[in-house]
Structure 1
């Protein structure tokens, strides 16, 4: 589109762990960067080292040891956010917002000014649009990268709401009363299913209205769970809601023609409803659906098998 450009921001695991995600998402719009899609993804050290090497483009660069990358990316998910800019250079606008690589040198008010060090500096972004697309191909694969690029070119307010508008609610918890709650973990994973389907299935007739209904049901459940003090009461409340939520999500996965997603949705309900013998196949189904699962959430799902 004339007069517009796009980029992406990779909000890195340290930002999720330190609860900086909300602050960063709210920093984009004042800088003229509109989040049109977002989702949680798992990073791996090999991909990111290759990405940083290639982004140097012949400039001398000294990266930290490989082990440092492994430690960093094991902390949690990253939030991949697609940004649209009403101007010629979204990448330059994002570069100005993020600040210098070393937090000690980053200007006050920039994102990286509050980072920990040159590695845990809260966000990565590309230098230009060709680099943005090439890096997305490495991060999420060619097919998914193209779906994200199309969303940047032709944003849909429904996808924006289903993804960027829901990503905070879907983020894994690292503490607090719901961090080890099975119903809460299932709720967050279902929200990630909604995000994934919204991005990959935007062109599928009838899909987005189903996902909007599922999102609303899940956020209502989330609000109810947050107000309940005891684990048995939370489980009872989530089970009472499961029939409608499961029906909406299963219909959405069938409309999207995604057997992997349907399998994950079915097995999430099974575990929530007490069919704990299926926890191992649930983990396999979540991975097959390419939905992010934290180590803590994996442990919560597994422990339901033993207690």
Structure 2
């Protein structure tokens, strides 16, 4: 049987409400295999372009742009590439997501548990041509091509480094560790691993370096979450910083990503450099940073 594919954008409301894990499980139960995933920032202009109707079609009534902005400022979206044995991946995903209005969504569909017609947990394309075009809009043509390659020839190492890391990389919205500096750095570094795994799949040795970095970061995460005090967490993270930084720098494929890796280490190690260069480096590397994480990392420059 031929292999078909699509993508799903698990929207910020799913991340905020803790629905990411069960959404990924729903994909699998419907025969849609997540082969790559990463946390991305989406904006109102991009989403409105996704919802544009083709010429000659009946216009779709959409909420005002302000509603989209409020929605997407909540947190990241999780872009997930899904493979499906046989034809009909887009149709299978459309059936699984359910009706736009949660009140009309059938029980068992993803959107049945959603809040409203905008915060309805997931977006997916109608067909494969739409999937191709929408990926370009969401992440740019070059990164979209790397994702399409993964859809065509899935690599279990990339699956582990991206799908297998996405929940640990997700921002925290509450709880005892939401404001921890070293844990914020840890999560952002895991997003670096995701990004590099997708863009560097064809580069020799990159995935080996990233597999090691992932293990070190997950070990660090477990250690830090078991430490009660902030000073002790910072000391433990600084003790591991050199190894993590070396692995990520060796795997980085661009100067922008190397700069982001270096800036993350500088923040963790207590650098007094200004906040603007750090933020510029993270944005240039296209790595997601939540509002809470941004506040935690910026605050460290002032204390």
Give the TM-score range, shorter chain: over 0.9
CA RMSD between the two structures: 1.2
For 1:38-187, what aligned pairs fall within 5 Å after superposition?
A: 38-54=37-53, 58-187=57-186
1:282 aligns with 2:255: no
SS in 2 for 1:6: strand
SS in 2 for 1:276: coil
SS in 1 for 2:100: coil
* CA distance in 2: counterparts of 1:280 and 1:128, whole angstroms: 41
* CA distance in 2: counterparts of 1:276 and 1:24, whole angstroms: 41
Give the aligned partner of residue 260 of structure 2: 264
SS in 1 for 2:47: helix
Task: Show CA shifts across 1:131-158 (max 9, x none).
Answer: 0010001010111111101100000000
Give the aligned partner of residue 301 of structure 1: 297
* CA distance in 2: counterparts of 1:192 and 1:142, whole angstroms: 20
* CA distance in 2: counterparts of 1:249 and 1:207, whole angstroms: 9
Give the aligned partner of residue 26 of structure 2: 27
SS in 1 for 2:164: coil
Task: Mark the runs of 5 or more structure 2 residues left unpaired by the alignment.
Answer: none
Equivalenced residue count is 303
TM-score (norm: length of structure 1): 0.96
Deviation, structure 1 residue 56: 9.3
Deviation, structure 1 residue 55: 6.8
- Range with greater deviation from structure 2 (54-63 or 67-76): 54-63
* CA distance in 1: counterparts of 2:109 and 2:246, whole angstroms: 44
* CA distance in 2: counterparts of 1:293 and 1:61, whole angstroms: 32
Question: Are the aligned partners of 1:55 and 1:126 in contact in 2 as well (CA < 8 Å)?
Answer: no
1:248 aligns with 2:273: no
TM-score (norm: length of structure 2): 0.98
* CA distance in 1: counterparts of 2:3 and 2:50, whole angstroms: 25
Give the aligned partner of residue 197 of structure 2: 198
* CA distance in 1: counterparts of 2:49 and 2:68, whole angstroms: 11
Question: Are the aligned partners of 1:267 and 1:278 in contact in 2 as well (CA < 8 Å)?
Answer: no
* CA distance in 1: counterparts of 2:55 and 2:118, whole angstroms: 15
Question: Are the aligned partners of 1:45 and 1:70 in contact in 2 as well (CA < 8 Å)?
Answer: yes
1:218 aligns with 2:217: yes
* CA distance in 1: counterparts of 2:175 and 2:281, whole angstroms: 27
Give the 4+ runs in structure 1 shifted more than 4 A. Answer: none
* CA distance in 1: counterparts of 2:109 and 2:215, whole angstroms: 34
